[in-house]
Structure 1
Amino acid sequence: MKRRKWSAEEKMNIVIEGLKGEQSVAEICRQHNISQILYYRWKDEFIQGGMGALSGKQRKTAKEDAAVQAKLDEYEKLIGKLTVKISTLKKRSTSEQGALGMYL
């Protein structure tokens, strides 16, 4: 049987369902066909994530993300240029070695 992929939002909703206390964790797990171990793992991850947000660890802003992406694009262009240059130098080196061999 193939495992189901749960989205972050689905996991969060299931954990919140359990935190409300209107149903037992066992009932919630049966309804969603997940193990209690998985539920508690999601709950721990959810709480740790929330603690990280409350502890002042800030996420990158859209501006910072754009700056990182621009730098990445710049590096990709540079890699492309260097790759072409290396290829050209290798071809030139090979052709020069062939020409030298003819004279020896």
Structure 2
Amino acid sequence: MNKRNRYSPRQKLEILLTGLSSSDGIAEVCRHYGVSTVQFYQWKDRLIKSAPEIFKRKSNKQNHQEEKYKEQLRQKDRVIAILTEENLQIKKNFGT
């Protein structure tokens, strides 16, 4: 039976950091955690490709737009709550 380990993003990062900083070598760290070296390098490539996003700064315009969208979403949530309450009252009044 092929047992597949599922690792959380935090565990993957821990394995990557351990492997990259270990003097024992990546192969030994992979054996310790039960991860293939191919998987290790795939995780490493994904980390490196996504790393630039961490350092991007949002412009004031982006922050303003994001806040605007959040406020619109809150307003829509309020409208949905009001309509849901009205719908329940109508159903209650008509006995359905």
Q: Answer whether TM exceeds 0.5 for this pair.
A: yes
What is the RMSD of the two structures over their aligned residues, measured on CA atoms?
Answer: 3.5
Hey, what's the Cα distance between the residues in 1 that align with 2:52 and 2:32?
28
2:19–2:30 Cα contact (<8 Å) kept: no
Hey, what's the Cα distance between the residues in 1 that align with 2:14 and 2:88?
53
Hey, what's the Cα distance between the residues in 2 that align with 1:21 and 1:91?
67
Report the equivalent of 2:26.
25
Counterparts in 2 of 1:31 and 1:14: CA distance versus 1, 3 Å: same
Q: How does 1:1-104 map to 2 (within 5 A)?
A: 3-8=5-10, 10-20=11-21, 22-54=23-55, 56=56, 58=58, 68=70, 71-89=72-90
Hey, what's the Cα distance between the residues in 2 that align with 1:50 and 1:74?
34
In percent, how many aligned pairs have the same letter? 25
* TM-score, normalising length: structure 1: 0.54
Hey, what's the Cα distance between the residues in 2 that align with 1:2 and 1:50?
27
Can you give the 5+ residue segments of structure 2 that lack an aligned partner in the other structure? none
| CA deviation vs aligned residue, 1:58-81 (integer Å, no higher than 9, x gap) | 4x87xx67x83x554443222111
Higher relative contact order, chain-length normalized (CA < 8 Å, sep 6+): 1
Counterpart amino acid of 1:24? G
Counterparts in 2 of 1:14 and 1:2: CA distance versus 1, 3 Å: closer
Counterpart amino acid of 2:29? I
Counterpart amino acid of 1:37? V
| CA deviation vs aligned residue, 1:24-74 (integer Å, no higher than 9, x gap) | 3221111112222321222112111213334x354x87xx67x83x55444
2:30–2:37 Cα contact (<8 Å) kept: yes
| Corresponding pairs, count | 87
Hey, what's the Cα distance between the residues in 2 that align with 1:2 and 1:42?
16
Moved over 6 A (4+): none
